[in-house]
A and B are shown apart, each in its own frame.
Chain A
Amino acid sequence: MKSFIGRRAISSAVSLGGLIVLVFFLTRLTGDPTNLYLPLDAPMEARDNFRVLHGLNDPLIVQFGSYVYDVLHLDFGESIRKARPALEVVLEAFPWTLTLAVVTMGLVTLFAIIIGSLAAARVGGVFDRLSGIMSLIAASTPEFWVAIVGIFIFAVSLGWLPTSGTGTIWHWVLPITVLFIRPFGLILQVVRGSMISALSSPYVKTARAKGVRQRAIIFVHALRNGMLPVITVIGDQAAGMLNGAVVIETIFGFPGVGKLMIDSILQRDFSVVLASIMVTALAIFIMNLLIDLLYAVLDPRIRY
């Protein structure tokens, strides 16, 4: 078990390292932050001072070396835009994204499992058709369009929900609903497929022969085995969401990691970009570990 976690940690660290190197140099190619942060008529000395302060005068490779040195000492640099430690800025935004992802994926999992299982229980029935239509719609609608139409109907016309921002629980309704659609359609199909094959296996026949009730067969006997592929897909989707639902966070003015990353890239706030990549990578790593543990719980044949 320990060696398994160790191996996973090493391979994740290697790809994270690659990502950091790439993003470090790519973001620096976008230009010099000095021109963005100082007024056009700033004197040369002010510009030089700014560059020296943020270490922008050194050769790139030296900048990279000192960045790596600092990160290894858990110093993630300073946000130019907010004049605060970058890590602090990121850790302020991260809980928003995390909550959004956890609530959305929780709802997705619940609904997808119930509807998908019922669809698989009777192929060609009402639930099956319903799930087919729903996943087709989910696969074909652009999120930003649903968000805009949602704002128009529920916020502008009806005035039931706020258009954007945070504060009350009502601010969460629209973002979660919009984020819900795409993963729901996808996971619904996976649940349906894996439940169909689980329901045709011999142990289900045994359970039927014993006279177990249909509901117990679906949700107790078959579901446990049918869940394995579903969990994989849920993990993929959740990872995407932890990386920041950029579009949704932008539309709804949500102070999450996705919006922070985009803003920081556009404002050339390099250390915040890198810090948010590292924080989300750590979160995704932990989530993947939990998923692997969940495999072992669901299927005792799996051991690490």
Chain B
Amino acid sequence: MLEVPRHPALTIMKLLWADKFACIAALFLVLIVVCAAIGPYFLEDAASKLNLRGRNAPPFDWSQGWLFMLGADSLGRSILARIAVAAQNTILIASCAVFASLVIGGALGLIAGYSSRRLGDTIMRLADVIMSFPSLLLAVIVLYMMEPSVLNLVLVLAITRIPVYLRTTRAEVLEIRERMFVQAAIVMGASRMRIIFGHMLPIVVPTLITIGTLDFAFVMLAESALSFLGIGIQPPDITWGLMVSQGKAYLHQAWWLSFWPGIAIILTTMSLNLLSGWLRIVLDPVQRWRLEMGGKNND
């Protein structure tokens, strides 16, 4: 049967629909990204307006309006609004760190895999050195030394994650360069750049994106931990990890201060994990049919 060629976006939607969990996860992530993108413009005022009468207002108390459905913090600021505003920093830091480490690690991996032996070995030893450091310790020292700003935080997180992409890319390149189509390209006189970017990169990128999705969750948790320890983002800037940390002092009176931002972190990482599982299946030609069958169990 001939299949009618469809728009690629439609195919992706269909594949997503086949995995209900991934579908929900994707919807949730879209919501978070929207929050991060436009939340601060609409809710900045609500998130920073003090309301001393509503101090530590409990959640699910509708008398204060829907903004206060998750309760209020120690200064009477709406927790829902603060979570929406904090989404921006949280997502921004994690995505910048992942993007930077993916691009740098990927590029170094391509070089390490497809250039002279010596250069490749040097790069790998460098990666080993980074990996042998206790990354949290390094982050603490570096952030304590420099001002803990968004940029520095991104830098520290990106450096510790580079080896992951570097190793994966190199391993893939070493395998791909022996394949027939690369040999053919060499024989036909394709330039080095063309082989690397035209022939190898398209095969490596899907793997990197899958790892990146998973890593996004990891980086987000690492950033939260650093902010929680007080060496990440500094107030009045805010991230989810910092909100959990600030709520710790009020654990006896108001558990919801730490609880809801933690739930936001968990739901986001969980969605990312689910989505990366789906991506792994979609990008794997051997397994893709499972989703193309429409999610029906075939065994």
Q: Which secondary structure dominates where chain A touches chain B?
A: helix
Complex interface: chain A residues within 8 A of B221 (CB): 142
Q: Which secondary structure dominates where chain B touches chain A?
A: helix
Bound CA–CA A149/B225 (angstroms): 15
**Chain B CB within 8 A of A246 CB:** yes
Q: Interface range on chain B: under 10, 10 to 19, 20 to 34, or 35 or more?
A: 35 or more
A148 touches B248 (CB 8 A): yes
B251 touches A144 (CB 8 A): no
- Minimal Cβ-Cβ distance residue in A for B259: A149
Nearest CB of chain A from residue B227's CB, rounded to whole Å = 10
**Chain A CB within 8 A of B101 CB:** no
How many inter-chain contacts with C-beta < 8 Å in the A-B complex?
Answer: 96
Which of A19-27, A105-113, A295-303 is the interface stretch? Answer: A19-27
**Chain B CB within 8 A of A156 CB:** yes
Bound CA–CA A266/B144 (angstroms): 8
- Minimal Cβ-Cβ distance residue in B for A19: B133
Which of B72-80, B148-156, B265-273 is the interface stretch? Answer: B265-273
Q: Which of B181-229 contact A (CB under 8 A)?
A: 217, 221, 224-225, 228-229
Shortest Cβ-Cβ A-B pairs, 7 listed? A145-B262, A140-B269, A140-B270, A243-B134, A15-B132, A144-B228, A26-B141
**Chain A CB within 8 A of B40 CB:** no
Q: Which of A141-161 contact B (CB under 8 A)?
A: 141-145, 148-149, 151-152, 156
B248 touches A27 (CB 8 A): no
Nearest CB of chain A from residue B130's CB, rounded to whole Å = 10
Nearest CB of chain B from residue A57's CB, rounded to whole Å = 21
Complex interface: chain A residues within 8 A of B270 (CB): 136-137, 140
B244 touches A148 (CB 8 A): yes
Using known A-B contacts A145-B244, A145-B258, A151-B251, determine if residue A140 contacts B144 with beta carbons closer than 8 Å.
Answer: no
Bound CA–CA A280/B136 (angstroms): 14
Q: What 0/1 readout, one digit per residue, does chain B (264-283) give for beta carbons within 8 Å of chain A?
A: 01100110011000000000
Nearest CB of chain A from residue B100's CB, rounded to whole Å = 21
Listed by A's residue number, 28 A-B pairs whose Cβ atoms lie within 8 Å are A15-B129, A19-B133, A26-B142, A29-B145, A136-B273, A139-B217, A139-B269, A139-B273, A140-B269, A141-B269, A142-B221, A142-B225, A144-B225, A145-B244, A145-B266, A148-B244, A148-B248, A148-B262, A149-B258, A156-B251, A240-B134, A246-B229, A247-B229, A251-B248, A265-B137, A265-B140, A266-B144, A277-B134
Complex interface: chain A residues within 8 A of B61 (CB): none
Bound CA–CA A212/B202 (angstroms): 49
B273 touches A140 (CB 8 A): yes
Bound CA–CA A18/B129 (angstroms): 8
Using known A-B contacts A136-B270, A246-B136, determine if residue A142 contacts B241 with beta carbons closer than 8 Å.
Answer: yes
Bound CA–CA A175/B101 (angstroms): 32
Bound CA–CA A23/B273 (angstroms): 34
**Chain B CB within 8 A of A214 CB:** no
Q: Which of B231-278 contact A (CB under 8 A)?
A: 241, 244-245, 247-248, 251-252, 255, 258-259, 262, 265-266, 269-270, 273-274
**Chain B CB within 8 A of A30 CB:** yes
Nearest CB of chain A from residue B49's CB, rounded to whole Å = 26
B262 touches A142 (CB 8 A): yes
A262 touches B251 (CB 8 A): no
**Chain A CB within 8 A of B128 CB:** yes
**Chain B CB within 8 A of A261 CB:** yes
Complex interface: chain B residues within 8 A of A30 (CB): 141, 144-145
Bound CA–CA A139/B269 (angstroms): 8
A142 touches B265 (CB 8 A): yes
B262 touches A149 (CB 8 A): yes
A152 touches B128 (CB 8 A): no
Nearest CB of chain B from residue A32's CB, rounded to whole Å = 13
**Chain B CB within 8 A of A250 CB:** yes
Nearest CB of chain A from residue B233's CB, rounded to whole Å = 15
Q: Which of A22, A143, A148 is packed against the most chain B CB atoms within 10 Å?
A: A148
Complex interface: chain B residues within 8 A of A18 (CB): 129
Bound CA–CA A56/B116 (angstroms): 45
Q: What 0/1 readout, one digit per residue, does chain A (257-286) give for beta carbons within 8 Å of chain B?
A: 000011001100000000001001000000
Bound CA–CA A265/B241 (angstroms): 21
- Minimal Cβ-Cβ distance residue in B for A151: B251
Nearest CB of chain A from residue B20's CB, rounded to whole Å = 15
Bound CA–CA A148/B225 (angstroms): 13
- Minimal Cβ-Cβ distance residue in B for A124: B299
A265 touches B228 (CB 8 A): no
A243 touches B269 (CB 8 A): no
A262 touches B262 (CB 8 A): no
- Minimal Cβ-Cβ distance residue in B for A29: B145
Nearest CB of chain B from residue A281's CB, rounded to whole Å = 9
B244 touches A142 (CB 8 A): yes
